């Protein structure tokens, strides 16, 4: 096959992908559909053979004659959607044990359940695993005609096909949602009532940036507490949402320990909420929640696209102090507030000093850096916190500052 499914923009994960391919015989790149996994892998390894197990003939070959299939690619290959032929991994294990040259096989897959099961059973210790999400803003602006307006960007989201093919966001996201529910969910788990599951996803979108209450969520969706928990796990395993855990190390106050639910793509959340244009989002009651989830998503991407496990949390006391996002770097904490307003207000900073006091009282040695990401255009450095314009959210964990904490 020749050509890539969409235009290649430089992706931050490239450096880590090349590094892992330098010492593992197999590297797995997983993440949501349409995040750019295939494009990244084929552009990074242009000389490798490529085969997609989405194609029925290739899938049938890999499933019925795995040894013959792998014999076709003795020199190595990019194998796309590996979860479509889960039995192939066992034969791949024998192949790379016999010839363990680094970087022989690059595997991609969109369903985290399938990939995790395949890797854990057959390729443990023989492969590196990376996650590629939709581009962060610094990557996205390399496409032409990326919106310069906050609410247009939030409404459209970050999936690259929208920008590369100039597909109207509402159309592409509708098709993406339908494909996900009708095909991907059925492949991951047996969901009998797809209409109820679709309603469940929309209810989750209405709860983005909120703490998770499984009983209330299940009740609203008309399913049991356990079903709500299982379905939320499906959304997380598909990289549609992230559960942001509570941070509560040695804090003696009444700290809420429930995780927060965050959609990883603001455009998908807007679509599920039936927000049909950016101006509607600008005045929507969930504007602040969608902005907060976008900020958390940008922080999440900043870490996973370095090949690292995100150290992201939130903090809230039952009465009082709340911090939208904490980045725990061991000897340093980034305390980050997300405010969608375009004008800086004094109450943006009100939680930083009480939170620092809680940390000191707990005996934690961490140094605390404070930042507010807001909907305005100018950044400034104040005595208590950095005020960061939404366009500059990527600066918070910039390489130079981040490495100082490692």
How many other CB atoms are found less than 10 A from the CB of residue 186? 13
Domain CATH number, residue 107: 3.40.50.300
What proportion of the chain, given as a percentage, has pLDDT over 70? 90
Measured between alpha carbons, how far is 128 from 21 in angstroms, rounded to an integer? 8
Q: Structurally, how many domains does the chain consist of? A: 2
- Given 131, 166, 184, the domain boundary residue is 131
| Pair (126, 240) in one structural domain | no
Inside any domain, residue 199: yes
Q: What is the pLDDT of residues 289-344, one digit of tens each?
A: 999 999 999 999 999 999 999 999 999 998 789 999 999 887 889 999 999 999 99
3-state SS string over 346-387?
A: HHHHCCHHHHHHHHHHCCCCCEEEEEEEECCCCCEECCCCEE
Per-residue pLDDT of the chain (406 residues; tens, 9 = 90+): 334 444 579 999 999 999 999 999 999 999 998 999 999 999 999 999 999 998 999 999 999 999 999 999 999 999 998 888 888 888 998 899 899 899 999 999 876 666 666 666 677 778 899 999 999 999 999 998 899 999 999 999 999 999 998 899 999 999 999 888 777 776 666 676 778 888 999 999 999 999 999 999 999 989 999 999 988 988 998 899 999 999 877 666 667 789 999 999 999 999 999 999 999 999 999 999 999 999 999 999 999 999 999 999 999 998 789 999 999 887 889 999 999 999 999 999 999 999 998 888 877 767 899 999 999 999 999 989 999 999 999 999 874 354 444 4
| Pair (107, 188) in one structural domain | no
pTM: predicted TM-score of the whole model, two decimal places = 0.92
CB burial of 229-239 (b: ≥16 within 10 Å; e: otherwise) equals eebbbbbebbb
Domain ranges, residue 48: 14-131
- Given 108, 131, 154, the domain boundary residue is 131
- Given 131, 156, 183, the domain boundary residue is 131
């Amino acid at each position: 096959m020749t050509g890539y499914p969409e235009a290649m923009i430089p992706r931050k994960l490239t450096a880590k992908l090349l590094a892992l391919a330098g010492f593992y015989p197999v590297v797995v790149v997983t993440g949501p559909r349409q995040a750019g996994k295939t494009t990244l892998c084929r552009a990074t390894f242009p000389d490798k053979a490529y085969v997609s197990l989405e194609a029925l003939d290739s899938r049938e070959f890999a499933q019925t004659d795995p040894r013959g299939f792998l014999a076709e690619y003795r020199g190595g290959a990019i194998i796309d959607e590996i979860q479509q032929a889960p039995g192939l991994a066992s034969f791949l294990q024998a192949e790379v044990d016999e010839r363990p040259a680094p970087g022989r096989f690059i595997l991609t897959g969109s369903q985290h359940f399938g990939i995790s099961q395949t890797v854990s059973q057959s390729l443990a210790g023989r492969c590196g695993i990376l996650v590629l999400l939709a581009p962060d803003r610094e990557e996205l602006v390399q496409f032409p005609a990326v919106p310069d307006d906050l609410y247009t960007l939030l409404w459209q989201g970050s999936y690259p096909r929208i920008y590369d093919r100039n597909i109207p966001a509402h159309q592409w996201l509708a098709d993406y949602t339908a494909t996900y529910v009708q095909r991907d969910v059925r492949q991951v788990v047996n969901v009998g009532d797809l209409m109820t599951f679709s309603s469940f996803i929309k209810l989750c979108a209405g709860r983005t940036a909120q703490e998770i209450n499984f009983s209330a969520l299940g009740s609203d969706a008309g399913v049991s507490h356990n079903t709500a928990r299982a379905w939320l796990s499906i959304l997380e395993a598909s990289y549609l949402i992230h559960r942001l855990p509570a941070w509560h190390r040695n804090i003696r106050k009444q700290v809420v320990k429930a995780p927060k639910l965050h959609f990883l793509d603001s455009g998908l959340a807007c679509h599920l909420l039936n927000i049909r244009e950016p101006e509607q989002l600008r005045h929507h009651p969930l504007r602040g929640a969608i902005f907060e989830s976008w900020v958390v998503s940008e922080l999440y991407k900043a870490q996973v696209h370095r090949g690292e496990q995100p150290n992201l949390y939130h903090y809230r006391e039952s009465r009082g102090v709340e911090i939208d996002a904490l980045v725990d770097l061991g000897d340093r904490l980034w305390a980050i507030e997300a405010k969608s307003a375009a004008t800086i207000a004094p109450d943006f900073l009100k939680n930083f000093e009480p939170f620092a006091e809680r940390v000191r009282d707990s005996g934690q040695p961490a140094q605390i850096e404070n930042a507010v990401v807001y909907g305005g255009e100018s950044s400034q450095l104040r005595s208590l916190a950095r005020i960061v314009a939404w366009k500059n959210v990527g600066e918070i964990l910039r390489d130079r500052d981040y490495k100082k904490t490692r």
